[in-house]
Every structure is written in C-alpha cells, then in structure tokens.
Amino acid sequence: MAQKEEYSYTMLAKLLIVFLIVHLLAVITLILMFSAEHEVASNTKVPVSSVWCSGKDVLTRRCYFKNLCYHHKEDVFVFVHGAQSVRQGLPRNRQEALADLTGGVEQHGNAKLYFNYVDIPEKAVRKGNLSSTILPDKVVLFKRFKPDNLMHVVHDDLLPLFFTLNDLEHAGARDYRVFFVDDYGQSEHLDLYRLFRSRTFPNSHHPLLKSTVKAEGLQDSEADLICFGTAAVGAPANTRWYQYGFDRPQGPVSNIPLSGQNIRSFVEFVRSGLEIQKYDIDMPRFAVRVRQKYPYAVFFSRKTNRRIINEADLIHAISAEFKLRVVSINFETHSLAEIVHLLENATMLVSVHGAQLVLSMFLPENAVVVELFPYAVPADSYTPYKTLAGISGVNLIYRAWENKDSANTVVHPNYKPEYGGIIHLSVEEQISINETVPVGPHRCCMDPVFLYRIYQDTIVDVASFTTVAAGALMERERRINSTVNATENAEDLVPSAVRNINCSFLNQSGVFHIDWDVPWNLKYLGNKSVQYSVKIQKMGEPTYTPYYTPEIHIEIPANEKGTYYVWISSQIDGISGLGHGIPGKCINL
C-alpha cells in the first residue's frame, strides 16, 4: 500500500513539472511574438538617407546620396527621413527638379529628363510597412536620350558619362556603376554602354537597368526598396557641340566647351574598351580585307535607305583619281571594333549624311571627311559632323557635297512617315512637299518636308564630287607639309604669367623704361610668336593706357609726374597667358 502511494506522488510531481515547462514555453513564445509585432525591423538596418548638392540650377547641380532607394513597383526614388538624415544644397522650392539626368540634352525643360525623389519617414521601414535591402555598389543615375541612334548614343550619353565618371574618379571616388533609369531596357548599342564597367565588382560588367536592378538585390529579392549605399546624380552639361532644334532650327551650340583634347581622350577610352590594338600593317588581327598597307579611303555604304545608287562608280573614281584603295563598310558586314580600327588610319571618309558619321572622331588628324547630301537638303542647315570636325584641336578637313540635280534622286513616297513617306497625306500636301525646294528651316523632329528629302536615294555626280574631294586632299597635303604642327597649335598651350617687372624713369628722355622676364614655360611651347600687352595706369586715375610690343622691354612717355602701376601679360597666337602677375610700379618725381 505504501508503495502505491509513493508511486502516485512521483507521477504527480512529474506531471506538475511537465505542466510548468509547457506554460513557461508558452509565455516565452508570447513574449517573442509581441516583440516581433512591435519591432519587426529590430535586427534590420534601416536605410536612412542623406544628400549633399552643389550647383545653382537643375543643369549645373550635382548631388551625392547616402542610401538613396528605388521603389521598383512604384518606379520612384525614395528618400528615407530619419534623425541622422542630412540635406544640404537642395533648392528652396521643393517643387523644383533636383538635377538633370542626361548631361543637358537640349536644355529644353523636359521634366521627364530631370531627377527628383519622394519622401517617406524612417518608421515606415522600421515598422515593416516597407521592406528594404541595401546594395554595396556605388551608382551614377543617368537617362539615355535616344539609344537606337549612334549619333545620340555618343553625343548625348557616352560623352557626358565619360566625363562624369572621370570627374568622380579624379575626386577619389572609384568604380561607380551606371544605373539607367529610363525605360529603354536592352538597347541596340548596349555594348557601347558596357564600356563603363567596374574594375572592383567582377559581376558588374554591364550597366544596371530598371529591369535588372531587382535581381541585383540578392539579399532579399522581394524587398520593396532597393537602396544604394552611394548614388551620384547630375551629369555635366558641357560636353555637347550640337542642338537638335527642339526650340529653334538645329545647329551648333554657342561657345562649344569641348576641345580636341577632350574628344581624343574619349576616343582612346572607347578604343581601349573595345580592345582594339594599335594599327600594325603586319599584324593579322582582322581579315585581309581590312588590313591596308597603303593609303586608303573608307566608304560608308547604306543598304536600306538613303542609299548611293552608283556607289560602285563613286568608289572606282576615288581609287582612280586619288590613288587610294577604298574599303566599303557598313554595320551589317563589319563590327564596331573593325570600323574603328579602319578609321584610325584612313586618309579619307566618305558617307551620306547620317548618324554613322559621328565615328569620324576616330579618324587621325588631317584626315578628310566628305559628307554627301541628298537633293534639296542644304548642307549648311545640318552640320553636326561639320561642327565636330571644326572643334579646336580635332583637326579634320571637312567638305560637303550636295546633289544639285533633281534627275539624280529617287524619292520614296510609300515609305513609313518616319522615313519620309507622304502617301498618307492629302494630294495637296504631297504636291506642296514636292515643290518645296530646298528644305526650309524647321524644328525637330517630324517635319515631313525634311524627312521626305533626307531619305531619298542619290546618284552622285562623280565629276563634281571629285572636285570637292580634290580640294580637301590638297588642303590635307598643305597641312601635312606645313612647318606649323597642328597638334602644337591646339588649345591649352598658354604662357605663364610675366614676372619681375622693372621700371625706371629716364630723366634725360622723359620716359619710363620697363622690362620683364619672359614667361617661365615659354621655352617649352615651341617656336611661337609672342606679343606682350602693357597696361599703365596713373595712381588715382580710373583708366589705363594700353601698349603692345613683341619685345621684353618698352619705353613709354612719362609726361606727368606721379606714381604709375604697370600690368603686363603675354599672348601666343591670340591665346592670352595666365594673368598679369604682380604689377610693377613706376615713379616720376
């Protein structure tokens, strides 16, 4: 009986222990659930944002963000406000766009090309209303303008990207990735955009696109916010040489900021990125047809529209008249790398007006560019490639040939409207377009008269073409044989400031004798003509008197007693030197 009672007490104790353990576990579970409900993100780093901007307006402003987020479902950029957020240099009017995303294309106030963000408080992420993931990459936000056209790709996208990333790298920030925040996706010339690849992240050989950025957030592919630890916004608006006519007829921009040196550095970047070896006539890198041991011309052949009908006759004439081998190329038969390789050493490039002519920047100095224009299309009205060739330091010889004979043209009224077709228009409108010769001034981009004429096919008058080309080749020979080296005469070779200005009053002749040291770097700038500007001003007088001399001394009449200040600067080939240095002092007692 005693054994049975002992057994009952033992079982009771065990049941009590189990009961207590179960209830303890239940309490712990409730505590954890309560904690999780009120602090979902307690162990998640909240991407609190900050921004620093400089620049006076949307076209000059550049901004750098910490933890800028992209909400891929809403297609907006998000700034997460928290106690640690910094906002510096923002416009006072929050409605104003923050920065331009295109490098100043057209500067015509298209809000779709500008950047701004939306605000959310930090607690929206911390409480779990929005989930987030942070990528380690540094990104530059950019919008492509027209990535299906090579001229636009180079002029509007690649050049500003090149200088944006250069500026960042020279400031000590390396390996930014490009994030294209447009809707173009995998564009035709994506390989050119891929030249901007990261050296640090081996998987970053391509730009980020809207369609691929979510896949980059591998930590949490379902996150609402993809946040970037560092993001830069705003490309330089000073890499353009041409405006396309959105608010006025197209033409060169005023005060072109680019130099030949800028263009050549970009060309070298592309050549290196495409892994094109320096030209070697004995290196069989490419097929035999693209290896030329003798001077040659390159002819761009268009196969679908804007064709040269008698291109075989034209090629034969170039070969016979100028003793040049001719290589006919197009994008169907040659890769971009092969085309660039050919252009690097060509004597002459011949092409009908079109985007492919932007590749003339890869030609060597003193090469000839002959641009062919269809009937009724005035060359002086469409000058993107003439302007490129004329940029100081590019040193190309440009000529235009125009078809003046209406019998040498083939029109295509049945083409699609964007390719010059007019069959969809009324009979009266078709007659008017046919009678409008030449094409008059117009704005971009769907003027039916311009499209109708620019997409004509052309029979080139060989005799008039060879006259134009011969004049250009004669200019080439003159430049090559000239004692003046075009490269040395390029921009940016300026003398340093004049120093050690001495002035003494010669009582016998009543003049100030002034002399000075030549600019320190003059001996390194070659055999150049130097002119000195000497400005003398009497103390207390509002104006100065200028004098000019090629010598490093001058005598100036000292008619009145008093103290005078003298400023001296130098000029080489019309380019002014660096400032006036420290002024000299002349005293006539």
Q: Is the pLDDT of residue 527 over 70?
A: no
Are 418 and 446 in contact by the 8 Å Cβ rule? The answer is yes
The pTM of the full predicted model, rounded to 2 decimals, is 0.78
User: Any bridge partners for residue 564, and if so which?
Assistant: 538, 586
What H or E segment, with its residue span, contains residue 37? helix 2-38
Question: What percent of the chain clears pLDDT 70, i.e. is strictly above it?
Answer: 82
Q: For residue 578, what pLDDT band results from cuts at 50, 70 and 90?
A: confident
The helix-helix angle for 462-481 and 311-322 (nearest 10°) equals 40
Average pLDDT value for residue range 193-219: 68
521: CB partners within 8 A, 6+ apart? 495, 496
Question: How far, in Å, CA of 564 to CA of 588, rounded?
Answer: 8
Reference 97, options 108, 85, 81, 113; nearest CA is 113
Q: Is the pLDDT of residue 451 over 50?
A: yes
Q: Is 298 helix (H, G, I), strand (E, B) or coil?
A: strand
Structure tokens at 114: 């500008």
Question: How far, in Å, CA of 383 to CA of 253, rounded?
Answer: 11
H-type alpha helices, 185-302 = 190-193, 210-216, 260-273
Taking the alpha carbons of 370, 372, 376, 377 in that order, is the dihedral positive or negative? negative
For residue 207, cis peptide bond before it (omega within 30 degrees of 0): no
Q: Is the pLDDT of residue 405 over 90?
A: yes
Question: How far, in Å, CA of 272 to CA of 195, rounded?
Answer: 9
557 vs 174, more confident = 557
584-588 and 562-572 strand pairing: antiparallel
pLDDT, tens digit, for every residue of 471-510? 999 999 999 887 444 444 445 678 888 888 999 998 888 8
553-557 and 511-517 strand pairing: antiparallel
Q: Long-range contact list for 254-259, CB < 8 A, 24+ apart?
A: 256/387, 256/391, 258/159, 258/391, 259/391, 259/392, 259/393, 259/490, 259/491, 259/492
pLDDT at 279: 56
Reference 141, options 123, 128, 160, 124; nearest CA is 160
Q: Looking up tokens 């010669």, which residue turns up?
A: 506
**Total count of residues recorded for the chain:** 589
334: CB partners within 8 A, 6+ apart? 290, 342
Q: Looking up tokens 């933890």, which residue turns up?
A: 67
Structure tokens at 205: 């050989």
Q: Is 272 helix (H, G, I), strand (E, B) or coil?
A: helix
355: CB partners within 8 A, 6+ apart? 149, 150, 151, 152
Q: For residue 202, what pLDDT band results from cuts at 50, 70 and 90?
A: very low
Q: Is the pLDDT of residue 200 over 60?
A: no
Number of neighbouring beta carbons within 10 Å of residue 372? 23
Structure tokens at 472: 């250009």
pLDDT at 118: 94
Q: Looking up tokens 């940016």, which residue turns up?
A: 492
Q: Is the pLDDT of residue 406 over 90?
A: yes
Average pLDDT value for residue range 24-29: 63
pLDDT, tens digit, for every residue of 251-298? 999 888 888 989 999 999 999 888 887 655 444 444 444 444 579 999
pLDDT at 233: 94
309: CB partners within 8 A, 6+ apart? 410, 457, 458, 459
Number of neighbouring beta carbons within 10 Å of residue 33? 10
